[in-house]
Amino acid sequence: MPDKLTSQEVNSKTDPSVAKQYDTETSTEQQIKDLFKTIDANKVGMLSTYRKGTGPVGRSMALAKRSGPDLLFLANAHSRKFSDLKEAPECQVTFQDTKTQDWISVSGTCVTSSNSDPRIKDLWSRGAAAWFGDLGDGKHDGSASDPRMSLIEVKAKYVVYWLHQVGALGFVKEVGMAAVKGEVANTGVLRELGEKELEMARQMDTSS
């Protein structure tokens, strides 16, 4: 049901229409488990880097692997994202499920690795080769040993995500009721994980 607002809340320092969205009841452990599950259900995300003179620049990327809250992507070393990251290693990765409206935003620092990184062979697939092509020189062939085949690892520092709590019909009903009654639509939960919680997430993933 939509959440009612009170005059005392309206006068508080925190806008209740924002504050009421945050999940303060679910345990950190469960929030981490839900984060992992939601990322794993969304294999393609938007990686945004910062380019001097332009600002944020995003591009769609297929997730090669999730390691706890950290994300690994295979990428072409000649792409401009690498020059962006050399200048400013901070980045953002976002995921969204258009069916449920669930979304995730991962802010962190990128660490790039050349083709000598042994993890590339484990992460490589024929699907990845399709984005590199075979240049016919016996070297740049889109394989795991292609010198262009590099790794981007996003070390998460801050995560915020929204998880739906109602279905499509419930979403429409909830928004409609809130609009009519002047209340706040309660369709899902908003959760934040900082560096302390993300380190806990890494430990949980290692021990699982």
Tally of structural domains, the chain: 1
pLDDT in tens, 30-40: 999 999 999 99
Instruction: Using 70 as the pLDDT threshold, list the residues of the chain that sit under it.
Output: 1-20, 165-187, 207-208
State the CATH number of the domain containing residue 198. Answer: 2.30.110.10
pLDDT at residue 12, as a whole number: 47
Three-class SS state of 52: coil
Mean pLDDT of the chain: 87
pLDDT in tens, 41-85: 998 999 999 999 999 999 999 999 999 999 999 999 999 999 999
Distances (CA, A) of 6 to 25, 179, 182, 191: 21, 16, 11, 23
pLDDT at residue 180, as a whole number: 58
40 within some domain: yes
Three-class SS state of 28: helix
Buried b (16+ CB within 10 A) or exposed e, 36-70: bebbeebeebebbbbeeeeeeeeeebebbeeebbb
Question: Whole domain around residue 116: which residue ranges?
Answer: 7-207
1 within some domain: no
Select from 198, 206, 163 the least CA-distant residue to 69.
Answer: 198
pLDDT at residue 24, as a whole number: 85
155 within some domain: yes
